[in-house]
């Protein structure tokens, strides 16, 4: 995956997290639950953004990031 695509996915995930945050905070009428769980959507978008940041860091460092627990 190219750095340009990584940055595009990162920006899209951040935009989706911001949109989900805005929709979650909007007041709604009592008794009408939302069709989409915006809290879950925000959590997924934040996880994708963190993964893209790690992927971008591996591009900048020149080698993949390694876990401190696995070998």
Count structural domains, the chain: 1
What pLDDT does residue 69 have?
Answer: 79
Residue 68 within any structural domain of the chain: no
What pTM, to 2 d.p., does this model score? Answer: 0.82
Residue 71 within any structural domain of the chain: no
Domain encompassing residue 41 = 3-26+36-61
The DSSP line for 19-59 is HHHHHHHS---TT---SS-HHHHHHHHHHHHHHHHHHHHHH
Mean pLDDT of 4-11: 96
pLDDT tens digits along 33-47? 888 899 999 999 999
């Amino acid at each position: 995956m190219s750095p340009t695509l990584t940055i595009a996915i990162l920006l899209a995930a951040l935009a989706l997290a911001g949109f989900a945050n805005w929709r979650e905070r909007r007041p709604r009428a009592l008794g009408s639950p939302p069709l989409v769980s915006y809290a879950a959507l925000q959590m997924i978008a934040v996880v994708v953004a963190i993964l893209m940041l790690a992927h971008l860091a591996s591009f900048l460092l020149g080698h993949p990031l390694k876990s401190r627990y696995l070998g």
